[in-house]
Amino acid sequence: MNTLDLTDPPCITEELRLIREQVRRFVAEEVLPVADAWEKEGCIPRAIFRRLGELGLLGMRHPVAYGGSDLGPVASVLWAEELGRSGYGGVPASVLVHTDMSSTHISRRGTEEQKRQYIPAVIRGEKIVAIAVTEPGAGSDVAGLKTRAVRDGDHWVINGSKLYITNGVHGDIYIVAARTDPQAKGSRGISLFIVEKGTPGLVVARELEKHGDLCSDTAELYFDNLRVPASALLGEENKGFYAVMDNFQNERLVMAGSSIGASLRAIEVTLDHVRTRQAFGATLWDLQATRQKLAMLATKVAAARALTYSAAELEAQGKDCVREISMAKIFACEVNVEVVNSCLQLHGGSGFMRGMAIERMTRDARIQTIGGGATEVMLEEVGKRL
C-alpha cells in the first residue's frame, strides 16, 4: 500500500509522532486483519478497547491524576486521523465517542468521587462510554430535547428516549442529557446524568442498521422511570446544554481529524489502483486527467488538515475558536465526501462492488457531514461570527 504522508505542522511534536507510529502499528497489526469480521458482527470487540487501554491510548484527554496523559486537542486530532486512516469508519466512530465525545464530560465536570469511580476504568478500556443526547425530534437542535428528569427525594427519575446512540448497545456508561426544568425555555433547564448499564428502566430498544460505519454499534434507548441517585448528576444542574456545546468542540475536531485520515486512505487506495489498472494501452495513472484529479484531491485534504490542526492549536491555547473549529469540521468532512466519491469513480465498476475498500469508505464518509453538527448547522455557527 502506498502511503501518502503530508508535511506535519509545527504543533506535532516528537512525542506525538511516536504516538502516531504506535497507533499505525496497532491499526496494521490488530485492526486491518480482522475488521471485516467486525463489520459483519456490527461491533468492535471489547478486547480492543482493553488493548488500547494497555497501550495508553484511551487517556489522552484525561488528567494525569486519574491515569491519563492530558495531551490536549492536537493529540486528539492526530489520534483521530490515524484511526480514520484505517479505512473502517466504525473504528473511529466507536473509539472516539469513548475517548473524546463522552467520557470527557466526566473529566471536565465530574465531582472528585465521579472521576475516581469512572475515569481509571475508562482509560483502561474496561468500561465503554456513550453520549446520549440525540432524540427522535432533537438532533443538532440540542435545545429541543424532550427527555425529562424529575427530582424525587434523593433520586432523579428519567423518562424519554434517545436515538442514534453510538456504543449504545455495548456501552457500560451513558452520559444522558435530560430536561430538569420544564418551565425553562430552549437551552435552559437541561442537565447531564451518569447512567450505568443494567440500571432498571434503561432499555436498549433496538440495535440500528446503518448505511455505513458498520462495525460501530448504534442503538435506540428508552428510559422508563429510570431512577438514579442524586449523585449521578454530572456538572451543574440546568447547565447541561452549555456542557454539551462546550464538548462539541472536541467532537467536531476529532470528526475533522478522522475525515482527513479517511480521505488520505482513500487516495492511497486509489493511487495503487490507477497505477496498475490498464486501459487503452496504458495505466490510468498515465492519463493527465487522472493525475490532476488526484493532485487536486490531495491539495484539498492538505488544506483541510492545516485548518484542523490550526483550530486544535487555538483550542489548546484556550482561545475562543468556535468559528475555526466549525470551519474545520465543515471543510474536512465535505472534502472527505468529495474524495471518496471521486476515488470510487476512478475505480470504475469495481468500486461499486461490496468487498472493495473504496466502496466501504464511500458509505462510511456520508455520516461525517451529518454527525456532530450537520454542515448546515456549522455554516450558521460560522456565519454568526463573521
> With contact defined as beta carbons under 8 Å apart, do 88 and 39 qualify?
yes
Q: Which residues, including other chains, have CB under 8 Å from residue 262's CB and lie 6 or more apart?
A: 84, 85, 87, 89, 336, 340, 361, 364, 365, 368
Integer-rounded Cα radius of gyration of the chain: 21
21 catalytic? Reply is: no
The three three-digit cell numbers of residue 181, written as one number: 426544568
33-48 as b/e, with b when 16 or more CB fall inside 10 Å?
Answer: eebeebbeebbbeeeb
* Cα 46 to the center of its chain, rounded Å: 18
> With contact defined as beta carbons under 8 Å apart, do 227 and 201 qualify?
yes
Residue 183, amino acid? Q
Of 151, 166, 21, 18, nearest in space to 82 by CA = 21
The three three-digit cell numbers of residue 138, written as one number: 432533537
Q: Which residues, including other chains, have CB under 8 Å from residue 188's CB and lie 6 or more apart?
A: 181, 238, 241
First vs last C-alpha separation in the chain: 42
What is the largest distance, in Å, between two alpha-carbon atoms of the chain? Answer: 79
Q: Which residues, including other chains, have CB under 8 Å from residue 36's CB and lie 6 or more apart?
A: none
Residue 92, amino acid? P
Q: Among the options 82, 220, 251, 268, which is catalytic? A: 251
> With contact defined as beta carbons under 8 Å apart, do 60 and 99 qualify?
yes
CA distance 188 to 97: 25
Active-site amino acid positions:
251
